[in-house]
Amino acid sequence: MTEAVRHVDIAILGAGPVGMALARALEGSGLDLLLIDRAPRGAWANDPRALAIAHGSRQLLERLGAWNVGDTTDIRSIHVSQQGGFGRTELAAGDYGLPALGYVLRYRDLAARLERETSTIPTLRPATVEHIDSDETCVRLRVSTDDGPANIVARLLVHAEGAPADGPDVHVRDYGQLAIVTEVRPASGHHFRAWERFTPDGPLALLPFGQDYAIVLTAPTATAQRLLQDDDASFLDALRERLGGRIDLVGCGRRAGFPLALRLRKQLAGPRQVWIGNTAQTLHPVTGQGFNLGLRDAWTLADTLWDARRQDPGEAKILARHARRRQPDRLIGAALTDGLVRLFSNDLMPLRTLRGLGLLALDLAPPLRAPLARQMIWGAR
């Protein structure tokens, strides 16, 4: 007996926040969609990550009807400094006529909200893709599910399955670092101020969240492993040392570690396939660019496909147009995060002085801060 074949216009591989945002943005376009994820529904329920969402991303999520995501906390200013060196600067929402530079929320709340908003879109999960091949007319996927194997034929396959594996199509820089995420309680409130502190071990971010700070502390893997195992008091001491006594911290939550690498796909489009979100670029979390970039990928692809909705969505010229539109923003995001990590992750005196002068210049000349703030709020447009 031959197995049934399911035909769709667009198969989206990966129903993470970016894949779901794309599906939501394409609803109503008349294109038949299918979301496929290897994990069961709600697999993200224990994800400990807090995300800093830029003001521009909030506007996109509002347009997708997916902004009300439970607890969110404004970031009204960001203080930037380096451990063991002079120089500091501060970005303030008011300088850009905005209520907030960004917002902090939980990855899992965002995923839950987007899952509700995409509940009417056909979804296969858990489903493992065993084989993909494509020709000029379509992409064929062979998938195994709890109900048995499935064959899918799509006019376009969108990859949104998160960080890509090593391979010749992906430029990889392993930072040899882990990001430790946790929540800590400041003794006297956070006043909606975030901190980006550059230390010789790696960047440390404190993001206001509820009454706490959501922490992203990056450190070389061996140091990070030790910090993950330390008791709360020793971990808080390590934070205080990195912060140079700027903030008094009184309590600490559960800690989790994420390995860090830059993974940059060289081509965004291939035969009837396109890559968005972390599978297109997985970045170091410094300055919180990853989801913001991925959301702009999803938005731009949806916009390109809406414009061409009477055409075949897998046509090479449509995919090339999307790739052209996304290239500057993602390359600037990758260069910014990678450049900051490399510039600040060492303790050489001349570099420390140069960095201090750079921070001082940013502080004294608001017009110098504006391009940085614009990239963080809206990306390269």
Ligand X SMILES: Cc1cc2nc3c(=O)[nH]c(=O)nc-3n(C[C@H](O)[C@H](O)[C@H](O)COP(=O)(O)OP(=O)(O)OC[C@H]3O[C@@H](n4cnc5c(N)ncnc54)[C@H](O)[C@@H]3O)c2cc1C
Binding site for ligand X (CB under 6 A): 13-19, 36-39, 49, 51-52, 107, 129, 160-162, 179, 181, 216, 258, 277-278, 285, 288-292, 294
Closest to ligand X by CB, 85 vs 205, is 205
How far is Cα 41 from Cα 182, in angstroms, rounded to an integer?
24
Which ranges in the chain belong to alpha helices (H)?
17-26, 55-63, 107-117, 221-229, 232-243, 290-307, 316-344, 349-364, 366-378
How far is Cα 209 from Cα 194, in angstroms, rounded to an integer?
10
Closest to ligand X by CB, 261 vs 360, is 261
Quote the Cα angle for 100-102-104, to 5°: 120
Closest to ligand X by CB, 266 vs 310, is 266
Closest to ligand X by CB, 44 vs 344, is 44
Closest to ligand X by CB, 17 vs 87, is 17
How far is Cα 332 from Cα 351, in angstroms, rounded to an integer?
22
Beta carbons within 10 angstroms of residue 327's beta carbon: 12
Closest to ligand X by CB, 322 vs 352, is 322
The angle, 0 to 180 degrees and rounded to 10, between the axes of the packed helices 316-344 and 349-364 is 120
The nearest distance, CB 326 to ligand X, in angstroms, is 13
CA distances 3 to 37, 130, 133, 156, 304, Å, are: 21, 15, 17, 21, 34
How far is Cα 90 from Cα 127, in angstroms, rounded to an integer?
46
Q: What are phi and psi of 159, to 5 degrees?
A: -85, 120
Contact criterion met (CB below 8 Å) for 152 and 8: yes
Closest to ligand X by CB, 35 vs 249, is 35
The nearest distance, CB 360 to ligand X, in angstroms, is 26
Which two tokens mark 231? 């008791």
CA distances 380 to 321, 336, 373, Å, are: 16, 12, 11
Closest to ligand X by CB, 56 vs 85, is 56
The nearest distance, CB 289 to ligand X, in angstroms, is 6
How far is Cα 325 from Cα 328, in angstroms, rounded to an integer?
7
The nearest distance, CB 291 to ligand X, in angstroms, is 3
Beta carbons within 10 angstroms of residue 198's beta carbon: 25
Return the residue nearest ligand X (CB atom): 16
Closest to ligand X by CB, 106 vs 352, is 106
Closest to ligand X by CB, 162 vs 270, is 162
Strand bridging mode 73-75 / 5-13? unpaired
Contact criterion met (CB below 8 Å) for 272 and 134: yes
Contact criterion met (CB below 8 Å) for 51 and 197: no
